[in-house]
C-alpha cells in the first residue's frame, strides 16, 4: 500500500526496524536469524521478505544489491511526518 502508517502497524515490521537499527545494512537471512535470536520472532524467510517490501515502499528502508547479496539500510526520515503532524504544537511547516 506504500503507506507509512500501515508499515509500522505490524509488530514484525517494527521489530525489523529495531533490528536494522542495531546493525544497519543486513541481508535478508541475517535479518531472519537476528529476529529469531534477539526478538524471539521466528518467521518464514518469505514472510520477512514481504515485510521488507512494505517497509521499502513506505520509504523506511533502501536496498542495495551486490552479487547475490541484497543489503537493507534503515531510513527513519519518513517518521518525521508524525512529529510534524501532531507533536509540533503550532503546526509549523518546516521548509521541507
Partner DNA sequence: TTGACAGGCAAGCATTGGCTTGCCTATCAT
Partner DNA sequence: ATGATAGGCAAGCCAATGCTTGCCTGTCAA
Query: Of 24, 53, 80, 84, which lies in the binding site for a second copy, with binding defined by CB under 8 A?
Result: 80
Q: Which segment (13-21, 25-33, 39-47, 51-59) binds a second copy by CB under 8 A?
A: 13-21
Query: Of 12, 17, 28, 41, which lies in the binding site for a second copy, with binding defined by CB under 8 A?
Result: 17
Q: Does 29 interact with DNA (rule: CB under 7 A)?
A: yes
Distance CA 57, CA 36 (A): 24
Angle between helices 11-22 and 28-38 (to 10 degrees): 100
User: Which of DNA, a second copy, none binds 54 (CB below 5-8 Å, type-dependent)?
Assistant: DNA
3-state secondary structure of 24: coil
Q: Does 44 interact with DNA (rule: CB under 7 A)?
A: yes
Burial 20-33 (b: 16+ CB within 10 A, else e): beeeeebebebbbe
Distance CA 43, CA 45 (A): 6
Interface with DNA (CB under 7 A): 1, 6, 9-10, 12, 27-30, 42-47, 49-52, 54, 67-70
Amino acid at each position: 500500500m506504500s503507506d507509512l502508517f500501515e508499515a509500522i502497524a505490524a509488530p514484525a515490521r517494527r521489530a525489523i526496524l529495531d533490528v536494522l537499527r542495531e546493525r544497519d545494512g543486513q541481508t535478508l537471512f541475517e535479518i531472519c536469524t537476528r529476529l529469531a535470536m534477539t526478538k524471539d520472532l521466528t518467521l518464514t524467510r518469505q514472510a520477512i521478505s514481504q515485510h521488507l517490501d512494505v517497509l521499502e515502499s513506505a520509504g523506511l528502508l533502501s536496498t542495495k544489491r551486490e552479487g547475490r547479496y541484497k543489503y537493507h539500510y534503515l531510513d527513519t526520515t519518513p517518521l518525521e511526518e508524525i512529529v510534524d503532524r501532531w507533536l509540533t504544537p503550532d503546526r509549523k511547516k518546516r521548509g521541507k
